[in-house]
Chain A
Amino acid sequence: MADVRCPMCGKANDSQAEACEFCGARIKPLFIEQPDAEPEARLEEPATAGESEAETPEWLARIRAQAEAKAAPELEEEGQDADGEEDDWLDRLRQSGAGEGQPLPERLGADGLTESAKEEPAPGEQPAEAADDEPDWLGGMPRADVGRDEGPPEGEVPEWLAQYEGDQEGEEEQQVPEWLARIRAREREGGEAGPALPAVETDWLNQLREGAMPQDGEAPPGEPPAAEPPAAEPTPAVAEVPMPEEEPEEQAQRPEQKPQVEHEPLPPLEAPAILSVPQEEQPPTAEPEPKPPAEEPDWLGGVGELKDETLPHVPALILETGEPAAPGGTQDLDLEAIDLPDWLGELKETGAEEAEKEAKPDLAPATLPAWLEAMRPVETFRPAVEIEPEEDQIVESAGPLAGLRGGLMAEPVVAMPRTPTIGGAKLDITERQFAQAELLHRMVEEEEREITPMPAGRGRLPLMRWALSLVLLLAVALPVFAGVPRFPLPSRLPLDLPALTELVNSLPTEPPVLVVFDYDPGYSGELDAVAGALFQHLVARELRIITVSTRPAGPPLAERLMQRVAPELALTNGEDYLHLGYLSGGPTAVQLFAALPREAILRGFLLPRELAGTSAWDSPLLRDVQELSDFAAVVVITAGTESARTWTEQARPWMGDTPLIMVLSMGAEPLVRPYYEALEPQVNGILTGLSAAVIYEQGNGRPAAAHDRWDGYGAGALAAELALAAGLVYGVIGWLLQPQRERG
């Protein structure tokens, strides 16, 4: 394995070593890859590769053949001269460093970069840039930087450049930058000239300047297309400095381009490469123009600053092809006079657009085939991940991606709601269905709309309500206070009453009768009067009464009724009746009470003193009662159909042969009657209405509350019937007086 000599200490090292094992200097130079040069290099490859020759136009092939034939001997000579010259100035540099008695690493910097020492072709000259911007260590090698800005030696100035400068000197004096003016001034004073370019390039370039483009298929002689890319960075200090480390590779790949890379002419600074290099000047395989410096991204600017600090002699941008930037004098070419192929014309027109696209590397919109476009789900996925700035991105803390920044987080995607993909197909609906859907939509919207409150205007006096109330009050109050009018007592016996009285008369006297008070105090005015007649009958038969209620206000109503039924009999609590109290739980409690009465009610209501601290079930009245069928009868006094149904449905199956009697409000009677009139009745007796109660009291021989209220009830019912009749007549007359079209 061949050894590599350290450029700093000169000692031999292993060829694979990256740093000198003696002085620590870096042997393999750092290579800063130019991001912008990468796509350009790719674009150049088709032009430089041999496989693209088949696509080359005929005229261009002839040009290439002629140019290669002319340039081959010159390139060989130039390459030899360059190698010899490089060895020569490098040796001089080393001798200079050795003569000053300082080690090279100290003079070149700690990073060990040696490109500057190798690339400086003119030792002993002063640097063009101000020394204040350079580090101290760099100040120790002033002679090595002298020739950087002063161009090639005088004898190596190509003929074309000298002629070009002579022709354009007067015009460019006003445009060249200051540094270039200084260089030219030194050149005029006998300074060194730049490296010579191949003569063949000079020839065709001069022809281009003179507007002598080939006519009728004659292509201009010159370099191969790949050897003439425009300079990306028109920095003279960089462009004229070769990179020795890249030379072997580039020689192996493109040996004919090596001399051009080393001897690039100074490009103009005033005009960016993209503007200074006309499209007509480039061969058909010309590369796209590099971006102007002003459009460089920020990160590239930072690289440029870093490059200036650490690698002062490394070109900012050297294309892989090594093609120098076109001189500024090419702006004088008559672009309109050059006959370009069609494809090159299109390239010219789209050059600015391409440059803009490079500045904004947006991806071109993808084109989906029609069948794939039809299958694409519409709005089924809402992008939940947004690309955040790098400094805001989360660093992965666990897993195989630990330590990486900018990883896609799975949680937002999973957690974000998505439009369901199932059922996304459009429904095939008819116009009628659509109209119905619209109607439903409007109805929902109407429900959600808030109705503005009506302004509180001056309301009309409720004269009609006052009149009806006054009539009804008078009708009810007159019989009560004045005793007039008096209505005859009912004489027609209801069909249900004989069956009820017969049933009560058949009840055994030993077991008690369970009476359920399932009504609120508001109905006591009606139900007390109706149930009073039944209670009279029960008391007359000396049946003991046990009360219970599924409403909290039921037990007091039971006590009140027991006190009013037969005050002259002075019924005693605990002997003649007993209150089980409140049964909580609704229908469930009713079923539990029907199945296990002693488990459903634990204490009692208003228990007598002898039962204090005990349960009502300890009373002698309930001694033999273990279940619901042990009662002689179950009487339900209720004002609603729900309570009647509950006791019928939940308790009736547990009652056996024990009869179920309903004392109903007049409004609930129609819905309970089917249970009574069935062939297998679930309700064995019904008592409802004041007329039935009056007759019942008459049958008991004890006129009571039903009799007291009969006249008032009759007068009130008559007034209500008259009011209803009056309302009916009023409505009919109003309907008849309406126009025919408004009657509906």
Chain B
Amino acid sequence: MSALTVKSLDLHHGLLHAVREVSFEVASGEVLALVGANGAGKTTLLRAIAGAHRPTAGRIELDGQDITQVPAHRRVAMGIALVPEGRRLFTQMTVEENLLVGRLAGRKGPWTVRKVLETFPNLEARLKARTGTLSGGEQQATAIGRALMSNPSLLLLDEVSLGLSPIAIERLYDSLKGLMQSGTTVLLVEQDLSRALGVAQRVVCMLEGRVVLEGPTASLPREAVTEAYFGVGRERAMA
């Protein structure tokens, strides 16, 4: 059964129709990459799945259960965790406090502060530091750790490599690799196409609020994804 089902979802930002009739499924244990240029509606879509953005139409199902009307904080208890774009840490609180806040939804599972530190050893020394004082890589690790503390069955990662140095990105994805192999379902938004195609089993490409391409990463030629990403084929057809 699919872990997440999105059925003809419509999302608006005021008058802007940000996501138009988007449908896709994520299988349990799968890593799905959601790619697309800036403004394609990826972040809005992720926020809607997490419950922070009310859809105008359509359905969202988690493990076959309709959660379209469920508020964000209860979705966390049901197993959805979002690592939001821009990290959105509680900057007045320490790393440890941010991690402990992630546990408040009360879902049972293996994640503890200790286990997060094993996954992201660079946080060990900064545990008592306020997150406002951390480097970008440390902040991102804290944000991911905070999401993991809720023991999610579905992890939504929004642009986790944005603003990080190449070394920090490398380290981050090394840490995530173990996680992705452990059976957690992951929906990943990533600007870096080769990075996204490298870790995901399947890719969904969005352009101007619509899904324009979908398929397993192994069988999709890189050029097809690039064209869909920039809408090259469509422009040619229009011209």
- Do A and B associate with each other? no
Seen from chain A, the residues whose Cβ lies within 8 Å of a Cβ on chain B are none
Seen from chain B, the residues whose Cβ lies within 8 Å of a Cβ on chain A are none
